Structure 1
Amino acid sequence: MELDVLKEVHLDPKNVRLEVADAKVEADIIEDLFVNEDALGLVEGICKVGYLTHETPVVLKRRGKSVVVEGNRRLAALKAIQNPMLVPDYQARIAALAALLPDRSALSKIRVMVAPNQTEADQLIAAIHTGNLRKAWSPSRQAAFFQAQIDAGRKLNELLTRYPTIDVRKFVFRAHIINLFKSVKYDDAELQDFLTTKKWARGLSTLARIYESKDFLELTGLAMQADGRVTKTVSDPVFKNIATAIVQGMHDENINTRSLNSVKSPRYTQLMGELRRIVADGTESTRPSGSEAPGATGSAGGGAAAAGGSSPTGTGTSSGSGASTGAASGTAGGATTTKQPPAGKKKKPKNLDLGQVKAPDSYPEALKLLLGELSEIDVQKFPNATFLMIRAVLEKSIKAFAEAKSIDIKATGNNQNGRVQLGHALNWLLDYVKPNGPKYLIQVVEGVRTGKLVTYTNSSDSLNAVNHNHHFKVDADQAFAMWSSIDSIMRYAMKP
């Protein structure tokens, strides 16, 4: 069919892309697609490159109206091109782009395909957005699609049959885990509100790095059995504390994809240690391994999907349920209040980036623990404590590096009365790097050792001053600058 974009075809209020649930007013849907799905970028592409016809929008007939179920961004862009006033916040930019078109009216009608029913449309939509045919939806959108299927009463086996080319288990698993975290009754109202924000939605890839890990699945015992039962080996109060620790870290921004970029990263190691302590503290209230979790539902249609005993993420276990885990319990840690920066002012970073600093398994546990704590500390609140910790991890990392090389720094003459301090460690490292390389590190070590190549607060003398001089202090910017100056040294020290 060929339809008029303004008069004869309508946007889908149930579109899974939308941040606004079941929006009723088309103006709200258009605004949402421009704000959250970059429909303006599509306007620019159409106006500068042309309207590409290799993908035809799909419509359904609903109550006598043609509603687009695939191609909502394209339709929103075309509607805005015809009438920029539909999106007031983008009106001038849309009008400027539309002026590039030789004939705007040529885009006033759109060719669409009509799906016979919602089920047939869903099969096409899923193949497009969760397969490899095009750029996939975001993790939350992918999960939302299959969560909607489950909420509509679909069984997992039915979904597996309907979408044979898609890793359905993965998406169903993700949807249930998200629901599991959202169902917890957090003691801190700020955390409860956080789970309704876009910041939480954007952080779901961070959450995935945790719940897809073997450590987390073994620790919680979350699994979907062949008959659809959801089981876990931790009690609801213990899981509440686990969820609180994770959500608090995501809220405070010290748990993110950069700090958890590896299962050997300091923050990941520190987090898993914290979760193990939570589980250990709740041992007496934990049910025997393999018992069914209270509140867990017994079928995919009721909020938990059967996974045939296999893991959707290849780890051997699988998802949680959407059942409430809000049993009363203490939180995993005190809540903090995050001050919002003034409008228009860029928010300053709170944590050091230790994403590329991963201690080898052979390094002492004390150093690994210190790196984990350093990755979590709020630099803006505690710049001097951060500076002290930077000094400690630098000295200990160099010593661990030498030890891994079977070298006794003290025996090289770098000591004072038999004691090796930071200055001695840096002197030894400089002597070691000069003949062994890499050459670029010579100036870096020299700069930190002497302070001649950089500002004073980036020198080892300032690191010693913050430790010994009761009149010396630093601010957050200086702490970040110091970490930046030793970043190359730290990465080198982690690879003996």
Structure 2
Amino acid sequence: MKKQIVNYQDKWEENKVKVDDLNLDVNNIRLEIKHESEKEIANDLFINEDAMDILENIYENGFFPDESPIVIKENNKLVVLEGNRRVVSLKAMVHPEIAPEKYASKIKKMMEGRLPITDILVRVATSRDEAMEYLSAKHTKTTRRPWSALRRAYFYYAQKERGQAVTVLMDRYKGVDIPAYIRMFEMHNVAKSLKNIPEEIRKKIANKGVFNITTLERLYSDKYVQQKLGIDFDKTTGEVSLPINASFDKVFSKVVSDIVSGVATSRKWLSHDEDRKKYIDSVISEILEGKEIDTRTKKSASEFKAISYKKKRKSLVEKSFVCTLDAPGIGRVLWELQNLEYKSFPNAAADLLRTFLEKTLKKYLEQLNALPNPRRTGGYIYLDDVLTKMSSDLQKLSKHQIVQIIAEIKNNKWYLESINHNPDIFAVEYRVEEAWDLICPLVKFIFNECKKKVESK
């Protein structure tokens, strides 16, 4: 018996409804995060998904007959599954205030001489699952702004999270490598959960349209890389398990940061087996100083919690930082760090940061009459000397947290030093941010201790 080709026009009713009766979908796969209110969804669609362009197109050319949104009835509400950008554009023409402030006034002015569209035709899907099959065919296999690989991964994984077994999804979406998309989603989720990631890198990782998941996929699909990182994949479901410790976090943070910043690309570093082997070995050697990742304890990648990125930092060092040391030179260097456009001049910022750290440590120890002697008569006192002295003195005072920070600084200060001495190494924005974030707690401790001494007099 011949199988009937699906005709969605026959299966799904076409109804005329009021735009105000349509509800934007909080589970819209376009959105980077889940929103609780329609206002939040509208804000995201305008800022990140070009809804204003859609609105202007409708304003100039009208709402075309082939653009009927796909909706379903859930909890007595009509929820838009396909066409959220079109619907939010129509809603904003009726109620400009739902758009972000920078667009609302423009929309209001545009609509002064026009009447908005208040009723449109929609197709009512019989179920969310059936609508998902339609959306999959439309956006992952055919035309109309096809989704990126990562968006497809989120599409399929969202159904798994709603209780659909991977085997069911494989049966529903014939010809789609569902386990590969499950793997991709979970590895991206791990990348978003890493602790040793600068904020600008974290923001790009979170953006499904920007993050280069295919480069990461090429790396984590390599058997040697899997073994070195301690990654296990379930062959049937694609589900991932990996180590839960600082060594994995540091190494994988470096890998993901290299991909985002363009240091590691498929063409340059990861094209062949030997290239990938060299790359991952070099990263582990650099980050763990010859040690290996501890792979004894692992957990499911689905348990990793994504860390939300913070707002873009305007300056490297916060303006609220105040030097409490009696040293005008240090205060001047601090002021320059607070005002330097470090993103445009990362090498200057890195050089100044190292200077600031060394001067601050030396002055603090000098005020305590604890400055170490030069290694030889008439010689210099180096940064490593004052870090070692600080660590030793604070260890005696049981300041273990600061001692650990100093240990991390000593392990990572090679970067700031190599920028000065190695002609092949240069600073980049996020590494400078990392350096300051590492140094900051120690500087805060010193300034607070000096402030206490002044106030106690």
Q: Please indicate, yes or no, whether the TM-score normalized by the shorter chain is above 0.5.
A: yes
Amino acid at match of 1:16: I
CA offsets, 1:159-206, max 9 Å, x none? Answer: 11112254433422211102233455x3x5x75x77874664358623
The alignment partner of 1:281 has SS state of coil
Contact 2:54–2:85 (CA under 8 A) maintained in structure 1:
yes
Matched, 1:61 2:69: no
Name 1:209's counterpart in structure 2: 215
The alignment partner of 1:173 has SS state of helix
Judged with a 3 Å threshold, the aligned counterparts in structure 2 of structure 1 residues 166 and 135 are, in CA distance, closer, same or farther, namely: farther
Matched, 1:241 2:255: no
Displacement after TM superposition at 1:140 (Å): 4.8
Unaligned residue ranges in structure 2 (runs of 5+): 1-14, 307-311, 317-338, 353-419, 422-426, 429-457
Contact 2:24–2:79 (CA under 8 A) maintained in structure 1:
yes
Q: How many residues align?
A: 306
Matched, 1:132 2:138: no
Contact 1:139–1:205 (CA under 8 A) maintained in structure 2:
no
Name 1:83's counterpart in structure 2: 95
The alignment partner of 1:110 has SS state of strand
Aligned with residue 45 of structure 2, among 33, 37, 45:
33
Contact 1:130–1:136 (CA under 8 A) maintained in structure 2:
yes
Contact 1:10–1:68 (CA under 8 A) maintained in structure 2:
yes
Name 2:186's counterpart in structure 1: 176
Contact 1:39–1:77 (CA under 8 A) maintained in structure 2:
yes
Name 1:5's counterpart in structure 2: 19
Name 1:340's counterpart in structure 2: 314
Aligned with residue 283 of structure 2, among 261, 275, 294:
275
Judged with a 3 Å threshold, the aligned counterparts in structure 2 of structure 1 residues 198 and 262 are, in CA distance, closer, same or farther, namely: closer
Amino acid at match of 1:93: K
Judged with a 3 Å threshold, the aligned counterparts in structure 2 of structure 1 residues 246 and 80 are, in CA distance, closer, same or farther, namely: same
TM-score w.r.t. length of structure 1: 0.52
Amino acid at match of 1:9: L
Displacement after TM superposition at 1:64 (Å): 1.6
Aligned with residue 381 of structure 1, among 341, 349, 355:
349
The separation in 2 between residues aligned to 1:19 and 1:234, in whole angstroms, is 26
- % identity of equivalent residues: 24
The separation in 1 between residues aligned to 2:133 and 2:146, in whole angstroms, is 15
Displacement after TM superposition at 1:245 (Å): 2.1
Matches within 5 A, 1:464-475: none
Amino acid at match of 2:268: K
Judged with a 3 Å threshold, the aligned counterparts in structure 2 of structure 1 residues 93 and 141 are, in CA distance, closer, same or farther, namely: farther
The alignment partner of 1:55 has SS state of coil
Higher-helix-fraction structure: 2
CA offsets, 1:232-269, max 9 Å, x none? Answer: 7978554223223235x36xxxx536443444259x98
Judged with a 3 Å threshold, the aligned counterparts in structure 2 of structure 1 residues 9 and 282 are, in CA distance, closer, same or farther, namely: same
The separation in 1 between residues aligned to 2:130 and 2:224, in whole angstroms, is 39
The alignment partner of 2:347 has SS state of coil
Matched, 1:17 2:17: no
Contact 1:341–1:347 (CA under 8 A) maintained in structure 2:
yes
Aligned with residue 111 of structure 1, among 115, 121, 125:
121
The separation in 2 between residues aligned to 1:203 and 1:347, in whole angstroms, is 28
Contact 2:42–2:88 (CA under 8 A) maintained in structure 1:
yes
Aligned with residue 161 of structure 1, among 168, 171, 174:
171
Matches within 5 A, 1:88-487: 88-98=101-111, 104-105=115-116, 107-138=117-148, 140-184=150-194, 186=195, 197=203, 200-201=206-207, 205-213=211-219, 217-221=223-227, 222-228=231-237, 236-247=245-256, 249=257, 255-256=259-260, 258-264=262-268, 272-277=280-285, 281-283=290-292, 285-286=294-295, 294-296=298-300, 321-324=301-304, 340-341=314-315, 349=343, 378-382=346-350
Name 2:55's counterpart in structure 1: 43
Contact 1:237–1:325 (CA under 8 A) maintained in structure 2:
no
Amino acid at match of 1:62: E
Amino acid at match of 1:340: K
Contact 1:60–1:67 (CA under 8 A) maintained in structure 2:
yes
TM-score w.r.t. length of structure 2: 0.55
Displacement after TM superposition at 1:209 (Å): 1.3
Amino acid at match of 2:226: T
